Amino acid sequence: MTTAREALRQTFSGRILRRSLIVALVVGTILNAINQGPEIFGGEDVAVWKLLLTFCVPFLVASFGAFSALAAASVRDD
């Protein structure tokens, strides 16, 4: 049986963490190009907090999805 604590530990270790980081890198890069493209490619100042947040959101979404799947699997096993 997988507890919520165990599901959380699995979410932020190994393959799942690596996959979430790759998702954040790919999706965050695309979103930053869309949202701040003119500033980035035009050499203008960018909002650094927006840049960082745009990478954090896909990481958190991918991580939450993995956690939810692991937690749901533990409920089905009961």
The pLDDT tens digits of the residues spanning 5-54 come to: 888 899 999 999 999 999 999 999 999 999 998 888 998 999 899 999 99
Domain that holds residue 49: 4-77
CA 65 to chain centre: 9
Q: Is it the case that residue 76 has pLDDT exceeding 70?
A: no
Query: Which DSSP state fits 3?
Result: -
Please state the pTM of the whole predicted model. Answer: 0.83
- pLDDT: which is higher, 75 or 11: 11
Q: Is it the case that residue 75 has pLDDT exceeding 80?
A: no
Query: What one-letter code names the amino acid at 72?
Result: A
Q: Is it the case that residue 73 has pLDDT exceeding 90?
A: no
Number of domains the chain contains: 1
